[in-house]
Structure 1
Amino acid sequence: MKKFAFGTLFLGVAVLSACGNGGSSDSDVAGDEQELADELYFFNWGHNIDEQILADFEEEFGVEVIYDTYASNEEMLTQINSGAISYDIIIPTDYFIDRMIQMDLLAELNMENIPNFENIAEEFQDLEFDPENRYSVPYLYGSTGLAYNTEVFEEPPTSWEVLWDPEYAGKVTAHDTSRDFVSLALQRLGKSINDLDDASLEEAQGILGDLNDNVLKYTTQPAAELISGQTVASLAYSDQAGIAMAENDAIAYVLPEEDGGMLWMDNFAIPSNANSQYTAEVFINFMLGAEVSKMLTDYIPSSNPNAAARELMSEEELSNQASYPEIPDSSEYYVDPTQDETRAINRIWNEVRAQ
């Protein structure tokens, strides 16, 4: 999932008694004879956690959290590959988990140290990118759908076709990412976002020129344009739609019924060269506590895969259509493309934008 800027935050250490914040205490996980490290190196998307959660972990466990952020999966992977810093926790998006498993970059988890995994709703366990959750645990999930202005659209749009409609020329946005851009066309053509053969990509490119003519701006952060009314329909990550909906009552969000939408999940994972796998697993278990997990999505307008946390939410929170939209059967997670497929997607992106 796309986020924001890169930065570093050092949070202080306090060795105090457990504060009952919804996470497991040290004695609640297996392997009490193992020792916690003095420091936990955490590499996460920017603006993707309430810093108070990190302070609470420090207070309960006496471990200093050294927190760095990244703006893309590619940036994270480059850093992990470089080995410049040995991180204990990272948050890759779904298909990047699969890629990193193939590259031998992730440690297999000891689930005895993560008993709160039972809080993860069954539908978010054992997904295709990591069967049996051997290497990852769900963190947050969301979707890529259509944010739209209800003063313009009386009924929710059922297809991506509205982004191509000449009536809205100069009033729509699309993502400035090649994969999402091409996926729009594939779904509009009734294909899977993972149909990346030459014929499918050529067909997709054939209709993307008209979309390019309609687009006011390419951005993964269209909330400002939606709030101001500058755009009436945008390809949007669900958290961006949530931000816009909170500021402008006219904005709504939907996964188009006919075409589906793109699904994503960010996940806890531990690099194979982590300083302390045990400390990382204690941290994951802490984060999966019901109250801590709810605190996470109180701060971030993403969707929470933690069933125990959702039991603590109000009906209003659970009915938020940005966080918990109806998901059509045709909605899909991305599969990691081959290098040739990636080159073809990027070529289409560059050629269409150059028109």
Structure 2
Amino acid sequence: MSRILMAGLVLCGLLAGCTKKSSETAAAKEVNLSIWGNYLSPELQAQFEKETGIKINISNYSSNEELLAKVQMGSSGIDVAVPSDYMVEVMSKMNLLEPLKTEQIPNRSLIADQFLKQNFDPDNKFSLPYIWTTAGIAVNRDLYQGPIKSWKDLLDNPQLKGKFALLDDVRETLGASLKMHGYSVNSTKPEEINKAKQSLLKTKKSLKMFASDTIDILNNKEVAAAQTYSSDALQAAEKSPGKIEYILPEEGGTFAIDNLVIIKGAKHSEAAHKLINFLLSEQAEINRVKTILGGPVLKNTRAALPKELQNNKALFPDDGTLKKLERIQDQGDNNKLFEDAWTEVKTH
């Protein structure tokens, strides 16, 4: 082989190696985050990108089931996601999550014990808590002054015909109807789920829309009332002072812990761990609670918040209210009962 040819092959090899290395370096400078809408402030995103040089590519979903469908497709490209408690269990059973490398997440030590070792991930092998919320009813008092104390006041109220929204979420919305009838949101009795479904079919005739991002529709007066998450209701209330009221119905509602996970086969694993560790820093959580108005999961956050937030009963419900709230649980094969009922509600 001639020296010229040999040199050319060596040069090609070096160039190929450099090209591969540069592309890997470029890939390491980004992380793909799939998260609920309004769940990461622009300030936090900018701070992480400035501190690490890693760009966050954000996509949103409106329900846990939508996230699951994206991941099941196998080509989502998602590195980090924020599923609710029961969906962590579903995804881990389906082998869709990577075990976390806890040595790369030192801020894990800052998490309050009450949010760790939950039944959906007893060893926190796949997940760490990000935020907690409740689900209830928000009302724009400029548009509706009537009483709202129960789910019936939303789901079966002639005065709200064409003026209210429900979450586009199978378990939350069927759960509200189950609660209205005095049942558990986790009921797997076909007759109870059918009763909840029939009520929603009736409700749908008066419904304006299904919507999981409710801040704008409340502030823009597209609806007078909406089933919503506490964080969205509180953000809407902050934008329209004195106008938006958040109510946890007397029958109770749901309580959810949303969690940070890494999707199986994530291409940016190191960046994903850096993002999770950053989001679990005290500074990031204080920013998160102030901007997203979701419940904190770190030990020392509440004491560091402004007094008006520390004393906000929607952000920190009292013990009596909390006792009426349920966490949605994975029902295994019985999930089909909810899915079939929901399909009928959405298509009829």
TM-score normalized with structure 1 length = 0.76
Partner of 1:270: 262
**Which structure has the larger Rg?**
2
Give the whole-Å Cα distance in 2 for the aligned partners of 1:134 and 1:282.
17
How much does 1:265 deviate? 2.4
Matched, 1:185 2:177: yes
Give the whole-Å Cα distance in 2 for the aligned partners of 1:171 and 1:86.
38
Amino acid across the alignment from 1:334 = I
Partner of 2:324: 330
Q: 2:32 aligns with which of 33, 39, 42?
A: 42
**SS of corresponding position for 1:69:** strand
Contact preservation (8 Å) 1:268, 1:284: yes
How much does 1:231 deviate? 4.4
Contact preservation (8 Å) 2:235, 2:293: yes
Matched, 1:77 2:71: no
Matched, 1:120 2:111: yes
How much does 1:219 deviate? 2.4
Contact preservation (8 Å) 2:133, 2:295: yes
Contact preservation (8 Å) 2:30, 2:55: yes
Listed one character per residue, the Cα deviations across residues 240-289 of structure 1 (whole Å, up to 9, x for unaligned) are: 212331214132112123x1112222211122323454443333222211
**Percent of pairs identical after alignment?**
27
Residues 121-130 or 332-341, more deviating? 332-341
Amino acid across the alignment from 1:297 = V
Aligned CA distance change for structure 1 residues 79 and 173 (closer, same or farther; 3 Å): closer
Partner of 2:80: 89
Partner of 1:4: none
**SS of corresponding position for 2:228:** strand
Matched, 1:169 2:161: yes
The 5-angstrom pairing of residues 234-273 of structure 1 reads 234-246=226-238, 247-257=240-250, 259-273=251-265
Amino acid across the alignment from 2:54 = E
Partner of 1:100: 91
Structure 1's unaligned 5+ residue stretches are: 1-36
How much does 1:307 deviate? 3.0
How much does 1:101 deviate? 0.7
Amino acid across the alignment from 2:242 = D
Contact preservation (8 Å) 1:255, 1:328: no
Aligned CA distance change for structure 1 residues 56 and 341 (closer, same or farther; 3 Å): closer
Give the whole-Å Cα distance in 2 for the aligned partners of 1:144 and 1:85.
28
Partner of 1:27: none
Amino acid across the alignment from 1:106 = L
Contact preservation (8 Å) 1:94, 1:266: yes
Amino acid across the alignment from 2:322 = P
Partner of 1:160: 151
Give the whole-Å Cα distance in 1 for the aligned partners of 2:198 and 2:66.
31
Aligned CA distance change for structure 1 residues 174 and 289 (closer, same or farther; 3 Å): same
The answer to which structure has the higher helix fraction is: 2
Partner of 2:295: 303
CA-atom RMSD in angstroms: 3.0
Aligned CA distance change for structure 1 residues 204 and 80 (closer, same or farther; 3 Å): closer
The 5-angstrom pairing of residues 157-236 of structure 1 reads 157-163=148-154, 164-227=156-219, 231-236=223-228
Structure 2's unaligned 5+ residue stretches are: 1-26
Residues 198-207 or 163-172, more deviating? 163-172
Partner of 1:23: none
Contact preservation (8 Å) 1:291, 1:309: no
Give the whole-Å Cα distance in 2 for the aligned partners of 1:210 and 1:54.
43
Partner of 1:65: 55
Give the whole-Å Cα distance in 1 for the aligned partners of 2:265 and 2:221.
48
**SS of corresponding position for 1:138:** strand
**SS of corresponding position for 2:259:** strand
Give the whole-Å Cα distance in 1 for the aligned partners of 2:158 and 2:81.
43
**SS of corresponding position for 1:204:** helix
Residues 98-107 or 204-213, more deviating? 204-213
Partner of 2:304: 312
Partner of 2:100: 109
How much does 1:86 deviate? 5.2
Listed one character per residue, the Cα deviations across residues 177-210 of structure 1 (whole Å, up to 9, x for unaligned) are: 3333321111111111111331211222343344
Size of the alignment, in residue pairs?
A: 316
Contact preservation (8 Å) 2:80, 2:260: yes
Amino acid across the alignment from 2:47 = D
TM-score normalized with structure 2 length = 0.78
